[in-house]
Structure formats: C-alpha cells, structure tokens
Structure 1
Amino acid sequence: MDLKYEQRPTAIGRCEGTALAHVQPQSYQSAPMREVRVGDLSDALQYAPCFVVEPIIPRDEVTLLSGHGDVGKSYLALVIGAHVACDQRWGPFPVTHGNVLFVTLEDVAERVRYRLARIVEAYRLDPIKLDKNLLVLDGASINASLAEEFLGPRAHTIAETSSFKQLALKSKGYDLVIVDNASDAFNADPNSNRLVRRFVRQMLGENARVNSLAVLLLAHVDKDAARYGARQQSYLGSVAWHNSARSRIALTGDDGNLTLQHEKHNHSAKHQPIRLFRTADGVPMPEEAAMDGSAASDSLLSNDVDAILMAMYAAKAAGVTVHASTSGPYTPQKTLSTFPELPRSLQNNSGRYRFWRALRACQSAGTVSAEDFVTGHRNKRKKLVLTHKGEVAVAALQSP
C-alpha cells in the first residue's frame, strides 16, 4: 500500500508530527452478488413464510427477544420452547410441534430444569413429551461462547468457537433453537455493526436457513430501552442487533405487569401486545389464556386473591374504610387502588373483571366479609373487612 506523508506545521503548545496525506484505496474481495430474474413469479408463493410460533417466531430467521435484566426473558423463552415441544398452543399463538434445543449460556442446567418443572406444573404439560422433544445444552458451567473476536490480517473479525460448531451440528433435526443469551454468546465488541451483522446474519441466520429452523436469541437492554422499545434501538449497544434480526419481540415489565410486544417482522403484520402475569413461582402466563378454568386461570386467580388480601390489610392498618358498594366513587376497587399492594393489573376498567372475580373468591372462602356500619351522617352502610381467617392468610403471605 503506497503511503505519502507531508510535514504538518507545528501548532502552538503541541509537538511536531506527521499526518497521513493520502491512502491508496483498498478493495476487499467478496463473493459476487447473485443475479435473480423476476419474470416468472408462478412459483414464488411456495416461499411464503412459515412459523414455529405464529406470527412472532418465523422459521429460517433469527428472532430477537429483548428485555432488561430481571424481566424474565429466560423463563418466557423456556415457556415458549416447552409449548412447541409439547405441541400445545401458547396463549393467542398457535405453535408448530417440533424439537427444541435450548442453549443456556447464562443459567446452569440445574436452574433450567427447575424452571421447566415449574412450567410443566403451571401449564399442566406432558413431561414425557417435553423430555422427548426438548434438549438443553449447558454452556454456562464452562463459560462457553459462540463467537470470539480476534485481529485478522486487515481488521478485527470474529470466529466460530467449538461451542458454535457443536451447536451447528446438533441443530440438525430441530425446529427451534433458543440461545440464552446474546451477551454471553457474543464475545466481541457489541458496538461493532460489522461484527454483529456477521454473528446474527451469517452465523445464526445461516444455521437457521440451512437447517430450516427458527432461532430465538435473547438480548439484554437497559430499562429505558425496554420501556420505549424500538425507538431506543439500544440492543447491547449497536443498532445492528436491531437491524440484523428479521423478527423482534420485546418483554417489558413495570410494577409487576408484563407485556409481550411484537415489534418487528418483515413478513407479516405485527401481533397486538399481550399482557402476561407471573405465578407465585415466577412462571409467565398470558392473561387472556387465564380466564378459561385452566391451570393458568387457577394460578392467576390465586395471585389476585393474595393481592386483594394484602391491600385489605393495608387499608385496615391505615384506618381506611372499604365500602362494599359496587358503584359510585367509593367502590372497593377504587379504595384499594390507592394502596401499592394492589397491582395496576387489578385497577381501573382494564382490571375490573379480575378484581371483582378475586373479591368474590375472597368472600366465598370466608377471608373477606361485609358488615354493617354507621357513617358520620348516621347513615347505615356496609363495609368490607378482613375476617380472622383472612388475617391468618395475610400472616402466611407475610412470612418469609
């Protein structure tokens, strides 16, 4: 490479130096682009997109599942994988039955197995099907990564590790590969667009296309990015994480409420956001699927009952009367909504059905009852109070 230098004038207070005046342009060799004729489109429709989880996780593509560090991405990914393995619809999303490979680079296998046991219990999945169709690759115990950065002849680049080669070989015959997570898998500069594109498109994306499978890649974002979604585009630091994935979903959470947002897919319309809740064991479940008398419904109702009991206890401690009226400005829902013990998912119009369903369950169980009282204007009214049984239940909830 022919370099020419020129002497620069000395700046006041600076030492003398030289500057690069001209750099001979250098070309980088790559494979030639493929020419594609578009005259005959009669067979084009056979390449319509296919999904493992429709429409949020397409086959032959990399889907990015983003969220901040403690929102529950790993648990959610395991829930989705377990439903694919057991051929069971998850919430509003139909699944294609298939084999699932869960690559854990963050949590050791024992933690993954514990979570799967909770998922099987909460959703009443078939453990035999799960064992047959879901396999865990534990890379966390050996600090494995899938891509390593090194200095090549011309610039920094990344190379496939032995763990990635193992993953690529093992992927044959699988329908969904889940990688938890990007920051552990990608041992390179996350701010380099070029390196990120190579990892997502050429390594993970090529593995998806060659084996006709879907890849779900979990990625951390900061809480501001999680709250504002794609507008922040701060996936690990480079917009290439945002742009290289052809499909993207985001798990956001605030004050106990979870929302799964379908933020991007190049081949279909985006699905509307769905609200999730956590069971007492932390298993995420769709709210709309938890109103049908299933295990999810039982778990959601149990959580809501506990929240109402805790809010009733807080109201009693504050000396606040909880009126039993079902309309007007002093309904139980409006009164208890002033206490932090009642989650936002049970407040306002959106939480009305769940609130009253749980309150009726409390009354049926004998933990909350209505009794007469006289107002300051000597009017007879009814108020809700915790019974002795309710106070015992609250004490059990408060115990460590």
Structure 2
Amino acid sequence: MSVHWQSFEQDAAPEEPLEPLNFINMSFWDATPVPARQWAVRDRVPAHQVTLFSGEGGSGKSIVELQLACAHVLGRDWFGTLPEPRPVIYQGCEDTRDELHRRVANICQHYDVGFADLIAGGLNMFSCVEGDGLLGVPNRSGQIEPTRLYNRLLEAAKDIQPIHIGIDTSADVFGGSEIDRGQVRQFVSLLRKLAIAANGSVVLLSHPSLTGINSGTGISGSTAWHNSVRSRIYLTSDDDLRTIEFKKNQYGPLGERVVVRYQDGVFVPEGGKTDVELAMIHKVADNAFLDLLNLTAKQLRFFGAQKGTNYAPAQLAKLPQAKGYTAKTLGDAMERLLAAEKIKLVPNPTKKASKATLVLLANSGAEQ
C-alpha cells in the first residue's frame, strides 16, 4: 500500500495581496487651521470621547448626571460651567420611570422650568430596570460584541445627534469581565463609537471597588478603565456635601475639585455662582476679546491661536486696553468664540503663502 503525500502549499488558496495602510495626508496642514478642541462641557467633558464618572452607591452620582443632562438641553449652568446646548440621551438601569420622574421634577424646580422645556430642548430618557440593558457582551472567543440594544442606541445617536449620552451604570451595560483589560478596552471603544456618531460625549457611570474607595482613586477592576477613557470624574460624599473631583483630564486642567451641597433633591455649588452670573461674566469676557482683536487688526497686528510667542490671549492681555483680563480668561473667551464661529482662523495676509501662519480675525457677524 502506498501513500501519496501532497504539499499543503499546493492545495492552499492563493493569498490575497494586502491593501496598503491608509496614512494621513498632511500635505495641506501648513495652510489649514488647526481644528479647535470640541467639548461637551468645557475643560471637563470632551466631545468624541468617553468620560468615566464613578461614585459610591447612594452618593448621588445619578442626580449629578441628570442635572448635567438637563443643563445641556436647557442651556443652563452645571456647577460653574455652561454645557453645550443640544439634545441628550440618558439610559438608566437603576431607576424606574417613577423614580426618574421624581428626580427630574426636582431638577425642573431648581431651574424653574417644566417638563415641556426639557422635551423642547431634546431630553430623551429610557429605563432598563425591567429589561436587559446590556450594550456589549463577550462572544465564544472572549471578544466584546455589540448587542441589539447597542445598535438601537447607535442609530438613535446618529439621528438625534446628542451632545451627551449618559449611561447609568457600567455594571448593567457591560457583560464582560471588568478585570479583563482587553474586554474593557473593547467596550470603551464601542462607547467611543457612540460619541463619534453623535458628535458629542459619552459619560459612563460606575461604582468604585472597596480598594478604589480606600485608595481614593475611585476605580474598580482593571486599570484599563482609567487608561482607556480621556477623562474621569469621582464623586465622594460627606453628609450633605459632595466633592466632584476631575481625576483625569487628557485635554484640560487636572485635579479640579467642585464642592456641592445636597438641597431640595438636587446639588448646588457651595458658594458658587448662578448660571445667570456665569453667563454674564462669559459674555463680558467674550466682548472684551473681540474689542481687543478688532483693535489690533486695525493696527495690522496678527496673532495665532496656538500657545507660543504669538499666542493671541497672552499678547492681548498685555495691552493697556485689556482692563486686567488675564491670558487664561481671554483664552477661554477665544475658545468659546471659535466654537460659536464668531471668530475664525485664516492665513496671515502679511506672510507669503509658503510661510503662512494662522491668525484670528473677527467675523462680520460677531457681537460687539
């Protein structure tokens, strides 16, 4: 009896040629304005990214999250900031519809608005207390895959374009192992896809582990939770006072703390400014920046929007007409005006095209 051996190479199908990597074309970047950083909440919650918001059970993080959701759709204050006004999607997995009704009613009373105002602003809530809230589950190979609910949420994000998607909590929506680094990173990538599709932010609420509480880090499971997100918030409690600490902020100030007090079903800043006062301060600073910008433009002086020797806020703050405004205050005003498209970046008209620099010029429609 003879055995015929055949080479596996002869039976194998020819391997398809590999497509080339899609490298970024940077050839036009010298003459293109650097994109402005997009925020859902300036210097606190970045757009197109995932923010992890942790706090012990009963500390009030769901209320803080709902206040942020309402602040977005109403265009009102959230602990000393003015979140970007746009629709919101909130997925609650711990509170029934009746509980959400009670909690949001307190927020309406705080802002002196009705539910009709929240509806008009685009507040979209749904509860998964009586159903399955999972958004990502592992397959047989241990890879995290999106669920049908995730795909429905993704479609809603594309249609509604919410500035904020709040998900309460990670234990109810993540079906993998929180100590598996790979699964955690895959799940955060799914959430980031939501943020990008919405052109907004995703805030995922979570409970810290005992170790996270004792260490003060506020995390639970794998360190991949901290490493995979671009910002992280931690809420701690002390009787009626709460401290909101921004533990990680990839694009803004790190270590900021806000102390708030529980009062009439909501949290209010401990000695902080009201939204009306804050809006007025911002408007005055924005107008001051525009006045200084117009003044220097008439003098044919041009400044850039990137930090350096020609950084506009730093240079404008040196002018006697700056009236004591700091570079930080003018920098915040510049970012608000860029985001509102009341100023823009254009090539410096005094430079050759080959050596173009970016300058700020006021649009004709800017407020004076």
Query: What TM-score do you get using the length of structure 2 for normalisation?
Result: 0.64
Out of 53, 61, 86, the position equivalent to 2:74 is 86
SS of 2:143's equivalent in the other structure is strand
> What does residue 268 of structure 2 align with?
285
Residues 169-210 of structure 1, C-alpha deviations (whole Å, 9 max, x = no match): 111222111001111000111111001100002x11012113
Question: Hey, what's the Cα distance between the residues in 1 that align with 2:215 and 2:33?
Answer: 36
Q: 1:250: how far off?
A: 1.1
Out of 204, 218, 235, the position equivalent to 1:217 is 204
Q: What amino acid is the match of 1:258?
A: R
> Are the aligned partners of 2:48 and 2:200 in contact in 1 as well (CA < 8 Å)?
yes
> Equivalent residues in 2 for 1:148-159 (5 A)?
148-152=137-141, 156-159=142-145
Task: Work out which of the two has the higher radius of gyration on C-alpha atoms and give 1 or 2.
Answer: 1
Unaligned regions of 5+ residues in structure 2, if any? 1-17, 278-368
Out of 113, 119, 129, the position equivalent to 2:117 is 129
Question: Hey, what's the Cα distance between the residues in 2 that align with 1:220 and 1:179?
Answer: 13
Out of 172, 194, 197, the position equivalent to 1:207 is 194
Question: Hey, what's the Cα distance between the residues in 2 that align with 1:98 and 1:43?
Answer: 32
> Are the aligned partners of 2:82 and 2:275 in contact in 1 as well (CA < 8 Å)?
no
Percent identical: 25
> What does residue 52 of structure 2 align with?
64
SS of 2:130's equivalent in the other structure is helix
> Are the aligned partners of 1:66 and 1:226 in contact in 2 as well (CA < 8 Å)?
no
Compared CA separation, residues 227 and 134, structure 1 to 2 (3 A): farther
> Are the aligned partners of 2:41 and 2:82 in contact in 1 as well (CA < 8 Å)?
yes
Residues 240-274 of structure 1, C-alpha deviations (whole Å, 9 max, x = no match): 11111111111111233211111112122236211
> Equivalent residues in 2 for 1:107-146 (5 A)?
107-132=95-120, 133-146=122-135
Question: Hey, what's the Cα distance between the residues in 2 that align with 1:241 and 1:265?
Answer: 14
> Equivalent residues in 2 for 1:146-225 (5 A)?
146-152=135-141, 156-172=142-158, 173-201=161-189, 203-222=190-209, 225=212
Q: What amino acid is the match of 1:72?
A: G
Q: What amino acid is the match of 2:52?
A: L
Residues 32-65 of structure 1, C-alpha deviations (whole Å, 9 max, x = no match): 8643365654366542321111121111111111
> Are the aligned partners of 1:247 and 1:265 in contact in 2 as well (CA < 8 Å)?
yes
> Equivalent residues in 2 for 1:316-355 (5 A)?
none
Compared CA separation, residues 89 and 213, structure 1 to 2 (3 A): same
> Are the aligned partners of 1:105 and 1:184 in contact in 2 as well (CA < 8 Å)?
yes
Residues 330-378 of structure 1, C-alpha deviations (whole Å, 9 max, x = no match): xxxxxxxxxxxxxxxxxxxxxxxxxxxxxxxxxxxxxxxxxxxxxxxxx
Question: Hey, what's the Cα distance between the residues in 1 that align with 2:19 and 2:261?
Answer: 49
Q: What amino acid is the match of 2:234?
A: A
Q: 1:149: how far off?
A: 1.9
Q: What amino acid is the match of 1:150?
A: N
Q: What amino acid is the match of 2:203?
A: L
Question: Hey, what's the Cα distance between the residues in 2 that align with 1:177 and 1:189?
Answer: 23
Q: Which segment drifts farther, 80-89 or 37-46?
A: 37-46
Compared CA separation, residues 280 and 128, structure 1 to 2 (3 A): closer
SS of 1:121's equivalent in the other structure is helix
> Are the aligned partners of 2:75 and 2:82 in contact in 1 as well (CA < 8 Å)?
no
Compared CA separation, residues 34 and 70, structure 1 to 2 (3 A): farther
> What does residue 235 of structure 1 align with?
219
> What does residue 245 of structure 2 align with?
261
Residues 55-95 of structure 1, C-alpha deviations (whole Å, 9 max, x = no match): 21111111111111121111100001101110112221121
Residues 229-249 of structure 1, C-alpha deviations (whole Å, 9 max, x = no match): 43xxx6331111111111111
Aligned residues: 257
> What does residue 339 of structure 1 align with?
none
Query: What TM-score do you get using the length of structure 1 for normalisation?
Result: 0.59
Question: Hey, what's the Cα distance between the residues in 1 that align with 2:272 and 2:146?
Answer: 41
> Are the aligned partners of 1:89 and 1:95 in contact in 2 as well (CA < 8 Å)?
yes
> What does residue 15 of structure 2 align with?
none
Question: Hey, what's the Cα distance between the residues in 2 that align with 1:91 and 1:129?
Answer: 20
Question: Hey, what's the Cα distance between the residues in 1 that align with 2:213 and 2:116?
Answer: 36
> Are the aligned partners of 1:55 and 1:93 in contact in 2 as well (CA < 8 Å)?
no
Compared CA separation, residues 142 and 42, structure 1 to 2 (3 A): same
> Are the aligned partners of 1:247 and 1:266 in contact in 2 as well (CA < 8 Å)?
yes
Question: Hey, what's the Cα distance between the residues in 2 that align with 1:128 and 1:272?
Answer: 34
RMSD, aligned α-carbons:
2.6
Compared CA separation, residues 93 and 196, structure 1 to 2 (3 A): same
Out of 73, 92, 97, the position equivalent to 2:61 is 73
